[in-house]
Structure 1
């Protein structure tokens, strides 16, 4: 008897429907075809033990299982459950009539309990697109999959529950998500708040501009000046995620197996990899490609502390994703593209000793040490960082001041207002939502300067020997400053402030 059951394979952040055809005939043997990997080939042992421990068994006949399309490689143990259901239906142990109306995925333990899988959200989206009546997944993945409207999601804990379901004995309760509660307003209480930061008003201003326009920023200062403290509070001033952003981010974390019964990810991600990270861990890839840190930071923040401590080849792989906001991983037989629209926040000491090159510095570094240290940061990479700012140590008077600073909630309101201005400006532009994403065409359209502003920018370009990319970055930052001040035009004062935020372009830095 031939039975078809449906599962799904995830490639990148998209799912593909897999048809599992099970045919039981006279003879003996267990034959699994359709380019399965070792984890799928070993499924026969897990399935046999799980069924036997729950009062069922593999038929003593010839079992042929084909996973179509047969030329597409299948990976992972999440096919245990659909294969088991296919075998039970083809052998007549359960009713085969309704098995093709559901998409089924899950990994079996030897006692028949189900273990969570990766990629439940993109699988649910695909099941809805394909018109399936419902999706059956392990209990731990049900809440994550249920955020997709238009499809019924069943979360089960044991294989007996799905067997009873197809026998018509009992049906599990569909998983439901209260979207008003799930996507309601977030609490303003946060562990990290800008009110805790003493002094550093100019740096807070830079971070506010970066948040308002989605700009990349690098903080340069000696140890203890507050760079890491400021960076950790940066996500708290970013505007709330939209439903589309939440779905995109959740999908990536789902594929990476980073979701634990949390449903939608509503907080913007904050990823802070150690400086020993490899290029593959940063951009993604591997034998079985997985999203890297830059994709896990999609719609959020990637914080690189002690930037020159990272290997140069690791930093260089950031250049293309910073520009294109996606990363493509190519292999001999397939190509996967992961989204990577993140904000880069980096910090660094000004020298190997940790202090600025001045006679008062407690630790001096030789010119050769400085060149070796700063040589890891290439010009093209720094060109892609919109804001460079020096962070000076906080004086004692500020540290001992008991008056709280401006809170993240107040700053976020100004940032959100500026983002709303940009959303209206780019509402008819595809894939452009804030100033940092502007192309050259949009810069020419929305960053028109008067003669005074043009002359000021020309002088800065010639004196600092800036590149064409740096020219565009200054205009983008100036546009954001104007938006924060609710100004229709980019004024000379906005250009002047934006030029200040190119510290690493000044004479004396990077040679």
Structure 2
């Protein structure tokens, strides 16, 4: 009878989990028993591992094997546990010393020839190992640079099971064994689109700057060709670089999606995600039939989620955005678990004024009933969560004569200065942006505005033209306008401007 234990890593949504792999072999009727909640790919791990071990000319004659994947109630998915299972089985069979593998976490999929293949999500898995106090991980060579982004963890990169056997054999004998070093691949610098390319649209450009400075959501309404998509695509270019914590989280999400390409640096630029209007609920919000995967809202975490032709999206998909807009996360419920994924993004919606796109009384060919129903596809609760609602007019020949506007670098500097004021204001709070400040903090106490300056908001609330949520969002925008103006607090002009930025013809102004 032989017994061995080691650690392996798996994913749940975008979070890693440490799994203890216990292997026991004994005489008896040959069998392979795998305990612990595992999907089909994970349950088949022994079928991939045993041929790989046999191909190393090691004795793996049929015996009674019991593999326990602990914690038993944690769902395990995919083939990432293969390497941990292989190491535990070799130690239980007497081919490795059990004590040399106990303090190492393993991740990697196994080929029948012993090749160790990379899996998605190595970064969040290694983060979970570090948080559990594990200081050494063994990963596929292709994933080594990604794993090395986590501080305090020593990464062992391997290509084959033969290298794993040689490494642990040498360690048991007290000698060193040099594993291959991964090739360093720099992350390509993403193209940043410049605001100079946008012709005219002074009001929309100003709203874009306010959205970037305070982290506000933005609705753009205008005819085709007016520049709505161009404006949205240039929002990431005026956002500051991500901080260390946000950068690690965004990089981890990219890792789960397999979008890192072995680069050796964290993602520093705010992501820009623009799903097609035919996208399903699972692709936008997250989910899936097997392992829960992040959707567009999580891919856009700490960045921009742009929905072009927003009324053409399915109603349930649009309404599914309401919860992450408020909480900054998505909760996917399954029969056996709840998976939480970060989704703190800036939402930018773009829409035509009517189905035909003309919008004006002269050019529109839509029947009145169809015009009325077009924007009804955007529910009132969703529109109420939009901080800024801006009309984008068609570009005129006079706009072309004005020449290029301010470049993104100039606007980005003002945004950076405004965000610095917000960080100073909220330095003792768990949030750092005006858009994330609770309404109760702005309506009462230290940050409450004088009654004279709040009067337009209170009057709109009494008349029912502004909801309490809308009032809170106006206050947040007013504070951002004050930050951009270098003021210590909003004045009446900022409050009126914030209310104006929530009102546009054809859109619910609440």
Q: TM-score w.r.t. structure 2 length?
A: 0.92
Contact residue 215 and residue 477 of structure 1 kept, 8 A: yes
Partner of 1:51: 53
Partner of 1:244: 245
CA offset at residue 451 of structure 1? Answer: 5.2
Contact residue 304 and residue 345 of structure 1 kept, 8 A: yes
Matched, 1:492 2:492: yes
Mark the CA change 1:452 to 1:474 in structure 2 (over 3 Å): closer, same or farther.
same
Matched, 1:89 2:88: no
2:344 pairs, out of 341, 344, 353, with 341
Contact residue 285 and residue 317 of structure 2 kept, 8 A: no
Matched, 1:118 2:130: no
2-side partners of 1:472 and 1:239: how far apart? 25
Contact residue 116 and residue 160 of structure 2 kept, 8 A: yes
Partner of 2:173: none
CA offset at residue 48 of structure 1? Answer: 2.9
CA offset at residue 62 of structure 1? Answer: 2.3
1:321 pairs, out of 300, 314, 324, with 324
Q: How many residues align?
A: 499
Mark the CA change 1:374 to 1:158 in structure 2 (over 3 Å): closer, same or farther.
same
1-side partners of 2:411 and 2:490: how far apart? 22
2-side partners of 1:146 and 1:61: how far apart? 38
Q: Deviations over 1:444-493 (max 9, x none)?
A: 24654345533444555567822221111111111100000110121111
Partner of 2:179: 172
Mark the CA change 1:309 to 1:495 in structure 2 (over 3 Å): closer, same or farther.
same
1:103 pairs, out of 102, 105, 114, with 105
Partner of 1:469: 469
Contact residue 383 and residue 508 of structure 2 kept, 8 A: no
Greater alpha carbon shift after TM alignment, 403-412 vs 451-460: 451-460
Greater alpha carbon shift after TM alignment, 32-41 vs 413-422: 32-41
CA offset at residue 351 of structure 1? Answer: 0.3
Q: State the superposition RMSD in angstroms.
A: 2.4
CA offset at residue 353 of structure 1? Answer: 0.8
1-side partners of 2:56 and 2:401: how far apart? 68
Instruction: State how 1:163-202 maps to structure 2 within 5 Å.
Output: 163-168=165-170, 170-172=177-179, 190-202=191-203
Q: Deviations over 1:301-354 (max 9, x none)?
A: 100000100111111111111111112112222111111110001100000110
Greater alpha carbon shift after TM alignment, 459-468 vs 483-492: 459-468
- Structure 1 unaligned blocks of 5 or more: none
Q: Deviations over 1:423-458 (max 9, x none)?
A: 11111112x110001112221246543455334445
2-side partners of 1:271 and 1:164: how far apart? 44
Q: TM-score w.r.t. structure 1 length?
A: 0.92
Partner of 1:39: 41
1-side partners of 2:507 and 2:71: how far apart? 57
CA offset at residue 422 of structure 1? Answer: 0.5
Contact residue 215 and residue 436 of structure 1 kept, 8 A: yes
- Structure 2 unaligned blocks of 5 or more: 171-175
Q: Secondary structure at the match of 2:144?
A: helix
Q: Deviations over 1:363-406 (max 9, x none)?
A: 321111012211111111101000000001111233366x4321
CA offset at residue 94 of structure 1? Answer: 2.6
Instruction: State how 1:242-281 maps to structure 2 within 5 Å.
Output: 242-262=243-263, 263-281=265-283
